Amino acid sequence: MTTFPRLRTASLTLREWKETDALRVQKILNNQNVTRMLSGSPYPYTLAHAEVFLQNRVPDDLGRAIHWAIELQGEVVGGIGARPLHETPIMGWWLSEDHWRKGIMYEAAREALSYLLLERELPKVFADAFSDNTGSLRLVRKLGFVHTGKNEGSSRARPDGNYPTEEFLISPLDFIEAQQAREQELAQ
């Protein structure tokens, strides 16, 4: 695959990352409420961290990984991606705290999963979240992910140590069934 899959929803654009996104990434991720829910992002989060992040997100081999910037009205508000695509990919996301609880990540994740599971025909996608990340836990269930167990993980933005996590998988059938159930719920 050589063309980056730019995705559009009713209000969002999921597009490739650009070097010019560095200041916006730094601003969003220099918020401990955001970074403490991520495993690999430190706090405080500097411009140098953002530049390294973007260097690692430049699309090169779209058969191995895909990372989208989430744009709302022309402004980056978060990120979403999955890797490694040649195995069971791990899907991860983050969103500016200003945009929490507005349905933005559901809209972005639904579009990304539609691409990964239905267009790319991946057999399943994995996701996990810290047990205290109520927003992500609600999101994965709403999307149709199935809880598969508990584990532990660390976060560079939290004090040293491991923290409980919840693990999930989703198949194309799980995703389709969840979308149909959501449509029926909205129709009532």
Q: What is the pLDDT along the chain (188 residues), one digit of tens a residue?
A: 568 999 999 999 999 999 999 999 999 999 999 999 999 999 999 999 999 999 988 766 788 999 999 999 999 999 999 999 999 999 999 999 999 999 999 999 999 999 999 999 999 999 999 999 999 999 999 999 999 999 999 999 999 999 999 999 999 999 999 999 999 988 98
Output the pLDDT for position 57.
87
Domain 7-187, architecture per CATH: 3-Layer(aba) Sandwich (3.40)
CA 181 – CA 147 distance, rounded (Å): 18
What tens digit of pLDDT does each residue of 69-118 get?
999 999 999 999 999 999 999 999 999 999 999 999 999 999 999 999 99
Q: Contact at 8 Å (CB) between 79 and 109?
A: no
CA distances from 49 to 29, 30, 55, 56 (A): 9, 10, 10, 11
CA distance 177 to 188: 17
DSSP symbols for 12-23: EEEE---GGGHH
Q: Are 131 and 168 in contact (CB under 8 A)?
A: no
Q: Which two tokens stand for residue 183?
A: 């449509």
Q: Among residues 122, 121, 59, 128, which one has the least CA distance to residue 91?
A: 128
Q: What is the pLDDT of residue 125?
A: 98
Spatial strand order of the sheet with 163-170 comes to 7-8, 12-15, 66-72, 75-83, 90-95, 125-130, 163-170, 146-153
Q: Would you tell me the crossing angle of helices 134-143 and 172-187 to the nearest 10 degrees?
A: 90
What's the confidence (pLDDT) of residue 58?
A: 76
Closest to 131 (Cα-Cα) out of 116, 143, 149? 149
> Of 45, 117, 124, 119, which is closest to residue 79 (Cα–Cα)?
45
